[in-house]
């Protein structure tokens, strides 16, 4: 009866529409609106997904804001808010991976708060009112941002990733259509899938884990583990894409009601410093943090080994095998080394300090300080 004595509360204000072809519902969902700001990125424009979405918008007046990059910065949010103020939308659509969705959350905050500086909202419960009606349409299976109360924005002055956490920024509706994820390239499919798996395993093992987040995390891990390699190999298989998309959304709900932990603390330090893909940073770090945490969540890691159909004698050996199998999975997915993202050993002290200061540091099952993070970065490099 894992975590059964822990209190929890659960909230999901987001209405979910899942299924192949569900993007066709978009027009109906927007019947009551007149002006729509679509926040996306150049990659999505190039795939043709944006054209498909635009074709569902009927007579709505549309403005597109696509000048954002991965790891969106404060100025991407502020530029989006400026465009939005001029256009005066009554609904925002975020189309893409975590970057457009997180950026759209920031734009929504600046509009509702009548502020122009997103830095005023870093932290928890800093947002005081509901944002504009907001629809998220994920095109990756990884972020979870389509159901979470958080947005991660990179502060351009310090190069540090900052979280904004508030129930007011959760999307009102998320449309999960596996068709929209089929054009995601192999490497991003692998990275975002491992981001989703990291959300689930961190939600499951965090100090904040509870019976409800555990149940969500376990099924999402199963879906992701059984489908991530197939999604890379057969990108147009809608059943596989559907499984990873649902797995990723469930993992998002799990960590939103528990937390992420040290893998994300380290990945966000790396992502802020080197502007590297978030999912890739998580993938590289995950097995090392699992090994470091192993003695603090042995039974839970053994359950992860179970999900991978591994036979083991006792929880200790099961936990050990789960770490080995995640390392093997990384190899199969061709996850590159830390140096590929620009990592430099001379940055370890800074990266460790940023990791220790992350809002999710306290949630890691093993207590972690700056020295622990230094040890881990040295092990990985
Ligand atoms: Fe993540």
> For residues 363 and 375, what is the distance between their CA atoms, to the nearest angstrom?
19
**Under a CB-based contact definition with an 8 Å cutoff, are residues 294 and 249 in contact?**
no
Q: Tell how far the Cα of 223 is from the centroid of ligand 1, in angstroms.
A: 17
> For residues 287 and 291, what is the distance between their CA atoms, to the nearest angstrom?
6
Classify burial at 149, counting beta carbons within 10 Å of its beta carbon; exposed 0-12, middle 13-18, buried 19 or more. buried
> For residues 308 and 143, what is the distance between their CA atoms, to the nearest angstrom?
22
134 has a pLDDT exceeding 80: yes
Q: Tell how far the Cα of 34 is from the centroid of ligand 1, in angstroms.
A: 34
**Under a CB-based contact definition with an 8 Å cutoff, are residues 301 and 205 in contact?**
yes
Domains of the chain, earliest start first: 15-181 (3.40.50.1970), 186-380 (1.20.1090.10)
Which helix (H) or strand (E) element contains residue 220?
helix 211-233
pLDDT band at 105 (very low <50, low <70, confident <90, very high): very high
**How far from 111 is each of 85, 87, 107, CA to CA, in Å?**
7, 12, 6
> Considering the chain, what percentage of its residues have pLDDT values greater than 90?
96
Q: Tell how far the Cα of 278 is from the centroid of ligand 1, in angstroms.
A: 7
Q: Tell how far the Cα of 152 is from the centroid of ligand 1, in angstroms.
A: 9
Question: What does the mean pLDDT of the chain come to?
Answer: 96
The closest alpha carbon to 133, from 60, 231, 184, 211, belongs to: 60
Q: Tell how far the Cα of 91 is from the centroid of ligand 1, in angstroms.
A: 26
Q: Tell how far the Cα of 275 is from the centroid of ligand 1, in angstroms.
A: 14
Q: Tell how far the Cα of 378 is from the centroid of ligand 1, in angstroms.
A: 22
Q: Tell how far the Cα of 265 is from the centroid of ligand 1, in angstroms.
A: 10
Q: Tell how far the Cα of 270 is from the centroid of ligand 1, in angstroms.
A: 13
Q: Tell how far the Cα of 190 is from the centroid of ligand 1, in angstroms.
A: 13
Tokens linked to 86 = 């001029």
Q: Quick one: residue 336, left, alpha or beta (phi over 0 = left, psi -120 to 50 = alpha)?
A: beta
SS (H, E, C) 8-51: CCCCCCCEEEECCCHHHHHHHHCCCCCEEEEECCHHHHHHCHHH
Q: Tell me the torsion sign for CA atoms 287, 142, 216, 218.
A: negative
Task: List pLDDT tens digits, range 200-244.
Answer: 999 999 999 999 999 999 999 999 999 999 999 999 999 999 999
Which helix (H) or strand (E) element contains residue 295?
none
Q: Tell how far the Cα of 196 is from the centroid of ligand 1, in angstroms.
A: 7
**Under a CB-based contact definition with an 8 Å cutoff, are residues 14 and 171 in contact?**
yes
pLDDT band at 381 (very low <50, low <70, confident <90, very high): confident
Q: Tell how far the Cα of 234 is from the centroid of ligand 1, in angstroms.
A: 24
Q: Tell how far the Cα of 286 is from the centroid of ligand 1, in angstroms.
A: 11
Q: Tell how far the Cα of 200 is from the centroid of ligand 1, in angstroms.
A: 10
> For residues 272 and 79, what is the distance between their CA atoms, to the nearest angstrom?
20
The closest alpha carbon to 274, from 322, 205, 341, belongs to: 341
pLDDT of residue 59: 85
The residues placing their C-beta within 5 Å of ligand 1, an ion, are 195
pLDDT band at 2 (very low <50, low <70, confident <90, very high): confident
Q: Tell how far the Cα of 26 is from the centroid of ligand 1, in angstroms.
A: 27
Q: Tell how far the Cα of 219 is from the centroid of ligand 1, in angstroms.
A: 18
SS3 150: strand
């Amino acid at each position: 009866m894992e975590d059964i004595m822990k209190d929890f509360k659960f909230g999901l204000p987001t209405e979910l529409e899942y299924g192949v072809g569900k993007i066709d519902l978009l027009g109906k969902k927007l019947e009551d609106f007149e002006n729509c700001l679509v926040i996306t990125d150049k990659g999505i424009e190039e795939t043709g997904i944006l054209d498909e979405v635009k074709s569902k918008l009927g007579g709505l007046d549309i403005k597109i804001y696509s000048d954002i990059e991965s790891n969106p910065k404060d100025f991407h949010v502020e530029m989006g808010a400026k465009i939005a103020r001029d256009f005066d939308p009554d609904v925002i659509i975020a189309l893409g991976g975590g970057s457009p969705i997180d950026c759209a959350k920031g734009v929504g905050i600046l509009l509702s708060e009548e502020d122009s500086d997103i830095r005023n909202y870093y932290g928890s419960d800093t947002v005081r009112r509901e944002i504009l009606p907001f629809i998220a349409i994920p095109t990756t299976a990884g972020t979870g941002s389509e159901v979470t109360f958080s947005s991660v924005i990179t502060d351009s002055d310090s190069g540090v990733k900052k979280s904004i956490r508030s129930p007011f920024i959760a999307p009102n509706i998320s449309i999960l259509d596996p068709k929209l994820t089929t054009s995601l390239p192999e490497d991003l499919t692998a990275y975002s899938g491992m981001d989703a798996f990291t959300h689930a395993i961190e939600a499951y093992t965090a100090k904040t884990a509870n019976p409800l987040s555990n149940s969500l995390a376990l099924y999402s891990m199963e879906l992701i583990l059984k489908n991530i390699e197939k999604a890379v190999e057969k990108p147009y298989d809608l059943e596989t894409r559907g499984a990873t998309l649902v797995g990723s959304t469930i993992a998002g709900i799990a960590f939103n009601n528990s937390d992420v932990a040290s893998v994300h603390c380290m990945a966000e330090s790396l992502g802020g410093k080197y502007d590297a893909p978030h999912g890739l940073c998580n993938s590289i770090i995950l097995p090392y943090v699992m090994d470091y945490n192993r003695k603090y969540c042995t039974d839970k890691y053994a359950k992860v080994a179970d999900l991978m159909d591994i036979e083991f004698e006792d929880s200790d050996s099961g936990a050990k095998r789960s770490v080995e199998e995640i390392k093997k999975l990384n190899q199969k997915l061709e996850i590159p080394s830390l140096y590929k993202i620009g990592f430099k050993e001379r940055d370890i002290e800074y990266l460790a300090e940023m990791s220790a200061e992350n809002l999710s540091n306290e949630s890691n099952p093993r207590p972690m300080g700056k020295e622990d993070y230094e040890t881990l970065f040295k092990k990985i490099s």
